[in-house]
Amino acid sequence: MCVDRREFLRLSAGVAGASFLAGEEAQAAQTPESYRQLRPLPGRAVPITDDERRARIEKAQRLMAENKIDAIYLESGSSLFYFTGVRWGNSERMFAAVIPAKGEIAWITPKFEEARARELIRFGKDIRAWEEDESPYKVVAGIFKDRGIRTGRIGMEERVRFFLFDGIRQEAKHLTYVSADPVTVGCRVIKSATELALMQRANDITIAAFKAAAGTLKEGMTQFEFGANVRSAFSALGSSGSALIGFGQYTAFPHGSIQPQKLKEGDVVLMDGGCAVEGYQADITRTFVFGKPTARQREIWNLERKAQDAALMAAKPGATCESVDAAARKVITDAGFGPDYKVPGLPHRTGHGIGLDGHEWTNFVRGNKTKLQPGMCFSDEPMIAIYGEFGIRLEDCLYITEQGPKLFSAQSTSIDQPFG
């Protein structure tokens, strides 16, 4: 369950958080001596080919026809990258694509950015530029008209910002606007062999970075110093990953605490994060003890591992997403924690979808009756949070095959062997 730790601190701590980060940045330059032996993993990442992206666009058009959607509108983000390979920063100026159910993809770009846009665009020759004093919404409406969409339904990708949607809606009031999820989710939720290979490499890098960083722990180290060491390990491996860090009682906070922490003997250590390869994400959590674990720490760690195993065993093709959550939660509640989301206990869902986004469709959560299919990818991360004491979360990501779930990373063997 990874979030951007720096953004979390900025939003949660304001000036105080900024001062913590300033100290963290100072530490980042101090690369541990042991990292001199780290090298990028052998082999290379094979990117998504243009042929695979063309097949994605064709599948999207089939799904549009099946769901009676005449076109989908995408602004910059993961879905646009998924279909076209184009990355573009979001601003108040519209840069977007329209994929029609029939016909060629069309692009909308600011005129002064047209040259750069043409460098990036590999699919579709219909590139329409708008000047600063012109309406991009009229350009979009013109695309709908030129594709023969006089009446019908336009799918809006879920990340489209409201002002863009509203401007298009006002310009083309005769059309009906619906969610593009049947198309975008319908394509993205099932990963190809190439996507799985990219996610595998991201997970392999993450485990190597975490293992190297764990060797730098020392008494008195702050969570920010350790976080900098994690980033340095990723960097030495040729990546730019990071991790959210917690020590001691603050490991009970699922997404970390803004409180300054210094590591001491006997503290539980939680590290949660990952990296991306060609945009495809890893998300791993390891929890262990700095020093010798107590009987209590070992007991709760073993219970957490049992819950993680239960979720893994339940994640079979045809099973519902909610049944996976129920399997993990039952282990924890049977031990006297909870019930439901109450703490001490499991305060969140058991897992989330993962791919180009660290969190994407669909989730291991009660009420989600979506059935598991080969190619779906998830995190498996039940947690036992005991505020004022500690928390234990073990997280590994998996993908569904015809034979059952397969893990991208080997699970922790024990509290003493977090990396197997």
Q: Is 202 helix (H, G, I), strand (E, B) or coil?
A: helix
Find, among 243, 179, 185, the residue nearest to 216 by Cα.
243
Phi, psi of 177 (to 5 degrees): -115, 130
Question: CA-CA distances (angstroms) from residue 194 to 21, 142, 295, 349?
Answer: 37, 36, 44, 28
Describe the crossing of helices 193-214 and 223-236 by its angle, rounded to 10 degrees: 130
Q: Block means of pLDDT (10 residues each) for the chain, length 420 residues?
A: 45 36 46 87 96 98 98 98 97 98 97 98 97 98 97 97 98 97 98 98 98 97 97 96 98 96 98 98 98 98 98 98 98 98 98 98 98 98 98 98 98 95
Confidence at residue 124, expressed as pLDDT on a 0 to 100 scale? 96
The burial class, CB within 10 Å (0-12 / 13-18 / 19+), for 257 is buried
Q: What is the DSSP string of 21-36?
A: HHHHHHHHT---GGGG
Contact by Cβ (8 Å): 371, 319: yes
Q: Are 234 and 205 in contact (CB under 8 A)?
A: yes
pLDDT given for residue 30 in this prediction: 65
Using CA atoms, how far apart are residues 123 and 81, in angstroms rounded to an integer? 12
Q: Which residues contact 164 (CB under 8 A, 6 or more apart)?
A: 75, 94, 96
pLDDT of residue 1: 61
Residue type, 27: Q
- In this predicted structure, what is the pLDDT of residue 16? 34
The three-state secondary structure class of 68 is coil
Cβ neighbourhood burial of 151 (10 Å; 0-12, 13-18, 19+): exposed
Sign of CA dihedral 120, 97, 187, 148: negative
Helix (H) or strand (E) holding 292: none
Round to whole Å and give the CA distance between 8 and 11.
5
Residue type, 297: Q
Q: What is the pLDDT of residue 36?
A: 85
